[in-house]
Amino acid sequence: MKQYTDFFKSHRQIINQSSHSLLNHHREKAFDSFSEKGFPVCGSEDYQHTDIPKWLEPDFGFYIGHRGTSGNPGKLYPCNVPGLSSYSYFVINGYFYPHEVKKELPQGVFSGSLNSFAENHPELFSKYYNRLAEQKGAGLSAFNTMFVQDGYVLYIPKNIVINDPIQLTDIADTNRDSLINRRILIILESGAEAKLLVCDHAAENESVSASTQVAELFIGENASFDFYELEESSKKNIRLTSNFVRQASSSRVVINNITLDNGITRNNYEIDLDGENAETHLYGLAIVDEKQRVDNFTLINHNTAHCRSNELFKYILDHEAVGAFGGKITVAQGARKTQAYQNNRNLSGSKNCRMFSKPQLIIHADDVKCSHGMTTGQLDETALFYLQSRGIPKSEAVFLLKYAFTNDVIQGVRIDSLKERLKMLIEKRFKGELIRCRGCF
């Protein structure tokens, strides 16, 4: 930890140079918070299988004061989802890439750089930026706030509906080991609707990239937002995310995180249902093998009555892979008529892989419907035998059962073209073929 606090103190001027003053305004308080809390300690209640201090101990070198790639990322890193009529944007090494967009968003909508948002909408920036991360986050979020240089903002004014999805391609592309800090800020005012797909990629070279990402989502009354994240990076990549969501009354949020290729991943989700009749659907799928690791931790807070949440995370592990899931649902006093469901289902393909699971319910109200469950096992031998008895080779039967296991997570995707593309990528992943959703990249 000391290496980072020392770097911050000695390079503060350089850190500030590339960012708007409103962004820099939060750094000092974040520095004090990180100095006090540090990184989460492995073995603590919510980080039992995630050793962030160990993973960030190497001298990565900060990616600070640079502006990403010199070429057009749309040509260098095409992320192809056939049939996806989307608004396309790029973030390279934590910096928003200003390029000419082919489709214009409705008037009043902002989709672009965090620094530009601070410049053009200072009141909104001051109202929302770092509000949840500072209030809810721990040392890892404070660390991100200390060093982040730029990021992506989506702001949608009242009652504006964006039918086509917005696609953000997030790329780590450095020729040296680097630590990259990224930020996402989503603001939907009342009655607004949108869908965002974030494709997380890393260039295929010998360098190691570690990234921290903080996402803050403010979803207004009667608003609807879908947030899809597809991680398809590299086995040398470390990805640490903290996602905070605040929902107003009658809002609807769908979050679906899918890891197809990675090195080490830790995702945190904290969702607050603050208005009556708010609804959340939270999905996760991780396919990991070799020595890959995926750890997801979720906290859904039902803070008022008549809210609903549905949570499903699935892991498919093989070789020496490690998976972990920690989930909490809290129901506050007075949050009657709550409906909350949490499930974690896992398939183990090797005696050497490991899966750790800890679902929890903390209920302080009466008249609620809440449940949680977890299973970890191998493929159903009876189903496998049945398929083989019908003349299907064992390898194909194994593939079919694994593929079917992912189905209910994929069905949670509400973009048809993305759903079909994910089915193809998952099929290639199970068959050991080279998987890329990004064309020639």
End position of a domain, from candidates 232, 247, 275:
275
Residue 188 lies in a domain: yes
Q: What is the pLDDT of residue 80?
A: 66
Residue 421 lies in a domain: yes
Q: What is the pLDDT of residue 75?
A: 63
Q: What is the pLDDT of residue 441?
A: 34
Q: What is the pLDDT of residue 404?
A: 95
Residue 324 lies in a domain: no
End position of a domain, from candidates 231, 253, 275:
275
Please tell me the total count of domains within the chain.
2
Residue 295 lies in a domain: no
Q: Which residues of the chain have pLDDT under 50?
A: 438-441
Q: What is the pLDDT of residue 209?
A: 86
Q: What is the pLDDT of residue 67?
A: 59
Please give, one letter per residue, the 3-state secondary structure of the chain: CHHHHHHHHHCHHHHHHCCCHHHHCCHHHHHHHHHHHCCCCCCCCCCCCCCHHHHCCCCCCECCCCCCCCCCHHHHCCCCCCCCCCEEEEEECCEEECCCCCCCCCCCCEEEEHHHHHHHCHHHHHHHCCHHHHHHCCHHHHHHHHHCCCCEEEEECCCCECCCCEEEEEEECCCCCEEEEEEEEEEECCCCEEEEEEEEEECCCCCCEEEEEEEEEEECCCCEEEEEEEEECCCCEEEEEEEEEEECCCCEEEEEEEEEECCEEEEEEEEEECCCCCEEEEEEEEEECCCCEEEEEEEEEECCCCCEEEEEEEEEECCCCEEEEEEEEEECCCCCCCEEEEEEEEEECCCCCEEEEEEEEEECCCCCEEEEEEEEECCCHHHHHHHHHCCCCHHHHHHHHHHHHCHHHHCCCCCHHHHHHHHHHHHHHHCCCCCCCCCCC
Residue 102 lies in a domain: yes
Q: What is the pLDDT of residue 440?
A: 35
Residue 313 lies in a domain: no
Verify that 387 and 268 share a domain, yes or no: no
End position of a domain, from candidates 275, 294, 320:
275
Residue 122 lies in a domain: yes
Q: What is the pLDDT of residue 76?
A: 60
Residue 153 lies in a domain: yes
Q: What is the pLDDT of residue 439?
A: 42
Q: Range of 84's domain?
A: 2-275
